Structure 1
Amino acid sequence: SRVFDPLTSALTNFTEFRYFSIAGGRILSLMKEPEMKGERQSPAAGDIVFEHVSFAYQDKEVLHDITVTLPKNSLTALVGPSGSGKSTVMKLCARFYDPQQGHLFFNGVPMDEIAPESLMSHISMVFQDVCLFQDTIRNNIRFGKTDAMDEEIIAAAKKACCHDFIMRLPQGYDTMVGEGGCTLSGGEKQRISIARAMLKDAQIILLDEATASLDPENEVEIQKAIDTLIKGRTVIAIAHRLKTIKKADRIIVLDNGQIKEEGTHDELIRQEGLYSHLWNIQESISGWKL
């Protein structure tokens, strides 16, 4: 009888022990990763240039010899089938990774010479999957600029079309957000993320299809907020709904890790290539009715 209880407890907790073991292994492998080098301060926002860049996750190469310029003060859209390398291009722009081959330049300066923290001071990101912290809405927005005054936070929230729904919450801006933002809807989390980006006021905006999984009402509100966010800035956007980037200054079409086409919407339609094919598919689907 003395053996039974400890044995039962050990068997019950065996699964948790395995979780702890896996988590510990991941922490140790992360600590063994080499530190990203870079000591130079980031220059003023400018063009982002890829020169013969190739990148692989472990043994799987996802970008093959990419050479392209993403010009400042313009909207550049990345489109293409799933797995074509769009998100990887964006992650390299933010220097989440360094390429295995080739070079990236930020306003003429090699990106691997720039301190990552300095580079990130010029960049704001709005992703499809938003992560909020278990804190107040005020502090979640303030994360974009830690020394921001309350007036600045409210102004950013109004521009992001989220002030009204925040004021309807029990404690307004002091309402606690559940872990990961679980107490808010997808559209509400998205607008708080945009408010955070507006408060940071960075010159480079990375948008990873912020409206892809939203209902029409939220999509309209978020599109208004995004239109305000990107004015006068360098914007790189991943687009699945091609109508949202029809007016982009430049559209880059990726497929199998390579650039297949470049140009404006009208130019790519006339080429009758991959972009035209994707556009025609979406246009035909939009006409379906039940």
Structure 2
Amino acid sequence: DAPFIANPGQPKTVERFDLSFEGVGFCYEEEGFEMKDLTFSVPEQTVTALVGSSGSGKTTLTNLLLRFWEPQAGNIRIGEVDIREMDYDYLLSKISVVMQNVILFSDTIANNIKVGDRNATQAEIEEAARRAMIHDFIVGLPDGYETKIGENGLGLSGGQKQRLSIARAFLKDAPILLLDEITSNIDPVNEYKIQQAMSALIRNRTVLVIAHHLQTIRNAHQIIVMDKGRLIESGT
């Protein structure tokens, strides 16, 4: 469920979109996980790759940035503003999310892409799909963009689902991008198209990517290595 978050009385907005994690602490006592004094920054319009084994805290970090959970210590800032000082809808409007487990609805493909921008025109939806390298697949379907898909993308491959998620992100056009690379086995054609779409999507955005592919790690401006909730190494 979405968290209940009380908005500040005088919410702040931001002028720039670098990210700062300052002494961030968080723990799940029942799982014995503790994130302690995590400090690093992501300069505006650069790519930072988060690397680490399962359970190292990579997803926890993205959930804290989205305010699904609150840090128990420290601050997370966009620009110079603590994210707790922003209106929650405003915060989410500045962040696009492309995750492995894409949430798709039992609805038309057009409406699933439109999650990125409820006011988008059909032309804008199609342009986003082209940039996500999924337009040709969609127009090849019997009902094109009006084709209905099942809950959670029933009938679509993992690669097709992620490209729909990328199309949403293009449509939203937020300055910050949270990205979790797909790890499931996908065919080379889908993988190539995803990589092409991703390369275009990250351009001129502040990107935090949970990286699984060596190519992504090599192309990042900064690499953060995590283990058991701690930053154990960073470099460029």
Q: TM-score, normalised by structure 2?
A: 0.93
Alignment partner of 1:88 is 2:60: yes
Which residues of 2 match residues 95-134 of structure 1 at below 5 A? 95-134=67-106
- Structure 2 counterpart of 1:61: 33
Q: Relative to 1, partners in 2 of residues 1:235 and 1:212: Cα closer, same or farther, differing over 3 Å?
A: farther
Alignment partner of 1:244 is 2:235: no
Q: How many residues get paired?
A: 234
SS in 2 for 1:207: strand
Shift of 1:34: 5.6
Partner AA of 1:48 in structure 2: L
- Structure 1 counterpart of 2:8: 38
SS in 1 for 2:179: strand
Which residues of 2 match residues 165-180 of structure 1 at below 5 A? 165-180=137-152
- Structure 2 counterpart of 1:137: 109
Shift of 1:111: 1.2
- Structure 2 counterpart of 1:51: 22
Alignment partner of 1:222 is 2:187: no
User: Structure 1, residues 145-188: CA drift from partner, whole Å, max 9, x if none?
Assistant: 11111111111101100011101111000000111111211111
User: Structure 1, residues 196-222: CA drift from partner, whole Å, max 9, x if none?
Assistant: 110001110110113554222211110
Return the alpha-carbon distance in structure 2 between the equivalents of residues 109 and 179 of structure 1.
38
Return the alpha-carbon distance in structure 1 between the equivalents of residues 59 and 16 of structure 2.
21
Partner AA of 1:90 in structure 2: T
Partner AA of 2:232 in structure 1: K
User: Structure 1, residues 71-130: CA drift from partner, whole Å, max 9, x if none?
Assistant: 111000000121111111111122221101111111111111112111010110000111
Return the alpha-carbon distance in structure 2 between the equivalents of residues 207 and 229 of structure 1.
10
SS in 2 for 1:143: helix
SS in 1 for 2:107: coil
Could you tell me the percent identity over the aligned residues? 47
Return the alpha-carbon distance in structure 2 between the equivalents of residues 179 and 230 of structure 1.
28
Return the alpha-carbon distance in structure 2 between the equivalents of residues 35 and 148 of structure 1.
27
Return the alpha-carbon distance in structure 1 between the equivalents of residues 8 and 106 of structure 2.
32
Shift of 1:38: 3.2
Instruction: Flag the structure with larger Rg.
Output: 1
Partner AA of 2:54 in structure 1: S
Return the alpha-carbon distance in structure 2 between the equivalents of residues 169 and 77 of structure 1.
36
Partner AA of 2:27 in structure 1: A
Shift of 1:41: 4.1
User: Structure 1, residues 242-265: CA drift from partner, whole Å, max 9, x if none?
Assistant: 23220210000111111111112x
Shift of 1:58: 4.4
Kept after mapping to 2: 8 A contact 1:160/1:195:
yes
Kept after mapping to 1: 8 A contact 2:177/2:207:
yes
Alignment partner of 1:199 is 2:178: no
- Structure 2 counterpart of 1:255: 227
Higher strand share: 2
Gaps of 5+ in 2: none
Return the alpha-carbon distance in structure 1 between the equivalents of residues 80 and 185 of structure 2.
37
Gaps of 5+ in 1: 1-29, 265-290
Higher helix share: 1
Q: TM-score, normalised by structure 1?
A: 0.76
Aligned-residue Cα RMSD (Å) equals: 1.7
Shift of 1:136: 0.5
User: Structure 1, residues 226-255: CA drift from partner, whole Å, max 9, x if none?
Assistant: 111111111110012223220210000111
SS in 1 for 2:168: helix
User: Structure 1, residues 46-93: CA drift from partner, whole Å, max 9, x if none?
Assistant: 221111111112443331110111211100000012111111111112
